[in-house]
Amino acid sequence: MSLAQAIHHYQQAILEINANLLTQVLHKENVAKVLTARDAVQQQLDLKDHSKVSGSLLITLEILDHQLQDIFRELRKPDHNLDELDEWFDQWRAILKPTPSYWWWFQAPSDSQNGILRLLSIICLTGSSAIWLSLIPRILVSGTGLIGIMTILINSLLPLGNAGILAKNLGQEKIERLLRGFRLQNRLQSFHTLFSPEHKLGPPKPFSDRDRFSFSLLTLLCSILFVELGSAHLAHFYFRQASEAYDKKQLKIALEKYELSLRLNPDNPKIYLQLGNINHELVELDTAIRNYKIAVQSPDCSATAAASLASIYLAQKDYSQADNWLWKSVEDARKASQAGESYIITDQQFKNLEQLLTIHLNLEQNSQALRWINLGLGGVRNHPEKEYVLLTSLGKIQLKSQANSEAKFQLQKAIDLKPQKALAYCLMAEALAVEGLNGEAIVAWEQCNANADQTNPEEYQYQIKARSYLAEDLE
């Protein structure tokens, strides 16, 4: 038998089985005949010198193979007895033991009829749609525009439409053609695979439910990846724009951009912190407190957010809350202090600490004041101005406790740090006067009077006291 004759018999077998399909009566003999006819064609191809095979025969064979694929696709429809077809293919493969390169023997309907995989495919495609649709509320106010929203709608409805088609078993061939387009098989590749001893698949096979599930799963994973990465990138873009506007004190623009960034990335605590800062500056204190309390739950933002909360409560004269939040703000410093490690009190923390310290001293709450002084001294090394404030406050407490020697020691340290400032001299003069060291006290009062800042109420009062003491001494 020649190759031309084998192809002719193959063609006749395809015509016969097509006639069976038209009458809805499928004969087992005709199914077996078309398969064995294709065997005969392949055997002739394997024996023949490929250079002597005419182009017309190759094109005819390719067309017939695609027709055979259409027959297999038709056999997979529920109109036929799929269990019976499965049994036929199993029996024939058991008898003939065809190699995988004889692809037509491995087209049993059960290869593509898998209810579980279809259900999983529907779930994956529906999930893809849900992911895309969930993005719309996040960007409705972002100025993305009609084109951007339509793109998201199309991307979300396509998987949903495919899921509906899959669920109803309608339009299946169109989906397969779409999927097959991604394989980019051209005619030359088809001709090559006809002769290749490694050939296993033959012409493009109808996609099985396993293929569809793989595609659906890939669609879901790509949707997750694209939406998550895209959302993160867009959120970062808006965050950067908001930060630039905030640095320029364009608070309304910054607020809008931070809110857009928050919609796309609601788990970023830095956004809540920045929103709190803007609300604080706009005196929207309730909103600021709410945002700060969210930000404070993040280790990266906790110290700054807690210090900001302390500032608000100090302004509202809720000193108990202020003290609690500032204590929360310096948690890392407290841990370092207990471990004997170095730490730093930030400018914002120190500003709050100084205000609380003044309040505790005025209310004669010395134990609370000492707590802040001791913690503060360990975190303001190499900051003479801050250390001076803490040392003079410590000197006040010791003077009130009649610990004059210790008070003088701390006040002298303050004087050595800032010899041009008045308050330590004023307190030192009081300590010396109590001990009856009038000569040294006069020198201290002179320095207190000379260096006092009259815009500072406390120093102004000490200046009046110093002048009175010096006037009495002159008399």
Q: What is the average per-residue pLDDT within 20-41?
A: 85
pLDDT digits (tens, 9 = 90+) for 101-136: 888 888 755 444 456 766 777 787 777 777 666 655
Q: Please tell me whether residues 364 and 413 are part of one structural domain.
A: yes
Are 128 and 50 contained in the same domain? no
Distance of alpha carbon 223 from alpha carbon 127, whole angstroms: 9
| pLDDT band, very low/low/confident/very high, at 239 (cuts 50, 70, 90) | very high
Cα 414 from Cα 382, distance rounded (Å)? 13
Assess whether 98 and 120 both reside in one domain: no
Query: What residue numbers bound the domain in which 349 lies?
Result: 296-474
Beta carbons of 48 and 3 less than 8 angstroms apart: yes
- CA proximity to 38, closest of 28, 49, 46: 46
Residue 139 backbone class (left: φ over 0; alpha: ψ -120 to 50; beta: rest): alpha
Q: Is residue 438 part of a domain?
A: yes
Cα separation, 330 vs 335, whole angstroms: 9
| 146 in the same domain as 10 | no
350 and 440 in a common domain = yes
- State which amino acid sits at residue 100: P
Answer with the residue of higher pLDDT: 210 or 149.
210
Whether residue 122 sits in one domain with residue 43: no
Whether 199 and 69 map to the same domain: the answer is no
In a domain, 371, yes or no: yes
Tokens encoding 397:
């407490």
- Domain membership of residue 8 (yes or no) is yes
Residue 437 maps to a domain:
yes
Last residue of a domain, one of 91, 109, 127: 109
Contacts for 64 with CB less than 8 Å, ≥ 6 apart? 7, 10, 11, 14
Do residues 408 and 452 both lie within one domain? yes
Look at the alpha carbons of 347, 350, 356, 357 in this order and tell me if their dihedral is positive or negative. negative
pLDDT tens digits, residue range 383-397?
999 999 999 999 999
Q: State how far the Cα of 389 lies from the Cα of 290, in Å rounded to an integer.
A: 33
The widest CA-to-CA distance across the chain, in whole angstroms, is: 144
In whole angstroms, give the CA distance from residue 72 to residue 85. 11
Final residue before a domain boundary, out of 230, 256, 279: 230
CB of 172 within 8 A of CB of 165? yes
Judged on CB neighbours under 10 Å (0-12, 13-18, 19+), 286 is: exposed
CA distances from 53 to 4, 6, 47 (A): 10, 13, 11
pTM over 0.75? The answer is: no
Query: In this structure, are residues 167 and 26 in contact, taking their beta carbons and an 8 Å threshold?
Result: no
Q: Are residues 199 and 81 in the same domain?
A: no
